[in-house]
Amino acid sequence: MTLVFFFLAFGFLVSVILTPWMIRLAHAGVGLDAPDEGRKRQSSPIPRIGGVPLMFSLVFGVMVILWLQPARSFEWFPILIGLSLMFALGLCDDIKPLGAKKKLLGQIAIASIVASLGLEIQTFSLPSYGTVDLGGWSGLVTVMWLITIPNIVNLIDGFDGLAGGLGLFMSVTLGLVGYVSDHLGLAWFAFTLAGALMGFLIFNFPPARIYLGDGGAYLIGFTIAVLSVSSSHKGSVAAALLVTVVGLGLPILDTSFALARRALRGFPLFHADDEHVHHRLERMGISKRRILFGLYGICVILSLIGLTIFWNKGGTLPIAIGLGMFFLMVLGVVRHFLRVRSWRDAHRQIKRVLSRRQAVQYTVLQAKLLLLEVDRCDTGQEFWKIFDQTMRRVGFVEENETENPVPIQLRQNGAKPLVLHASLDEGTVPEWQRIAECFRPAFSKALAKWGPR
């Protein structure tokens, strides 16, 4: 147990020492996340390369582990390869955005490499339920697992301290799983990450001085995914996998609602928005720290339930408790955030969303075309003329053209806000704001190229 505390302290010290260096490096011009007054509402640019000190902590930790267990060095090869490539993919996006499709293809390639190197989910087994040999599906299931968890962590990383705290609780949980299962190397690795996240949260706690970025989120998610697979005996995913699923109940629920929401509305699945649980709580007037501690509490409870499932070897009662907790969270989100009190409410809201789906899809297409127009146009005058025509096509009008005009503002980096007008007869203010946000990339790019109109 002494070594557990050593790795915890080791990860903490490396992170605490290196994170301030990363902050200074970023402010010198590398990896800054500029505010845009949309989803990124910080008052000044903030570094988004917080994954770098975490990566150094893990690399140094593995070096110590290999020194303590040289005979097991071959087991770390696929883990280190996958971890390094996944982190590099996210870091590249932090420095220069790659786009959702390129990142997804990169994740699939990395996960496929890791699976081909022998880190596979070969069977699925639980006591009293038997064993299922995945056979030819093994590679596909492994790849899906290795790309799903990093993306879940990344999607919830939109609130200071949230993804880091989630990663901390999960790494401690999986560290305990590894320790109890006598996978000491994996336990030390997990506690190294836990210590590194403790150090990082000093600088990431609200108000954050540095963000995880995609590199850090992918690193945390991939580490959790790998630990959950590696902690299982001989590739058999038993209670250890359920620990991860239950422990990640909050981000899994939030991600599921986000994907369903975007799919129903007609937005791309990876279209960012500010309607996650933490964003909704913030709009209710709750302080960031209270929101964070409340969500931490839920994560701790779910992690404890997950550990109970592991210690009971997948017993029925702990699983039932976990499912019951998940059901209560779903019910709470549906009633208090989606304002659904009955089946009639649900039917009415779904019907309304679907009725506007075609308009949203048309808007998304127009936004993509307008982004291309920025490169095609030679002058700002030419572009802004096309911009105004596009706004009319998607439903925005002149202020005097409707009886119930509502101003919709699109802001960008302190520039004069673009004011659009819409009719409340055709949609609600939040719906029109979401439509306007689709054009933020083109608006931002045009401002950078030609300046204010």
Q: Do you find a cis peptide bond into 150, omega within 30 degrees of 0?
A: no
Q: How far apart are CA 54 and CA 195, in angstroms?
A: 9
Residue 268 or 447, more confident: 447
- Lowest-pLDDT choice from 154-158, 263-267, 302-306, 347-351: 347-351
* Over residues 431-449, mean pLDDT: 88
In this predicted model, what pLDDT tens digit does every residue of 375-414 receive, in sequence order? 999 998 999 999 999 999 998 988 777 777 888 888 766 5
Write the DSSP symbol of residue 413: T
- Lowest-pLDDT choice from 163-167, 247-251, 335-339, 449-453: 335-339
Q: What Rg, from alpha-carbon coordinates, does the chain have?
A: 24
pLDDT for the residue 403: 73
285: which 2 tokens? 């007037």
Predicted confidence (pLDDT) at residue 320 exceeds the cutoff of 90? no
- Lowest-pLDDT choice from 106-110, 185-189, 352-356: 352-356
Token look-up 């390639």 returns 109
- Lowest-pLDDT choice from 26-40, 48-62, 136-150, 360-374: 26-40
Predicted confidence (pLDDT) at residue 168 exceeds the cutoff of 90? yes
Residue 199 to residues 19, 27, 152, 168, 378: CA-CA distances in angstroms? Answer: 8, 20, 22, 10, 49
Contact 239, 313 (CB under 8 A): yes
62: which 2 tokens? 């593995």
Predicted confidence (pLDDT) at residue 160 exceeds the cutoff of 50? yes
Q: How far apart are CA 245 and CA 224, in angstroms?
A: 11
Predicted confidence (pLDDT) at residue 314 exceeds the cutoff of 60? no
In this predicted model, what pLDDT tens digit does every residue of 281-292 receive, in sequence order? 787 788 888 888
pLDDT for the residue 316: 55
Q: What angle do CA 43, 45, 49 make, to 5 degrees?
A: 135
pLDDT for the residue 82: 93
Q: How far apart are CA 28 and CA 39, in angstroms?
A: 24
272 burial class (0-12, 13-18, 19+ CB within 10 angstroms)? Answer: middle
pLDDT for the residue 247: 81
380: which 2 tokens? 């700002």
In this predicted model, what pLDDT tens digit does every residue of 225-264 receive, in sequence order? 998 887 654 444 556 677 787 788 888 888 887 888 888 7
- Looking at the chain, the number of H-run helices and the number of E-run strands are 18, 7
pLDDT for the residue 355: 73
Q: What is the pTM of this model?
A: 0.83
Q: Which residue pairs, CB below 8 angstroms and at least 24 apart, start in 287-290?
A: 288/159, 288/160, 288/206, 288/207, 289/206
Domains of the chain by residue range: 2-336, 356-450
Contact 231, 44 (CB under 8 A): no
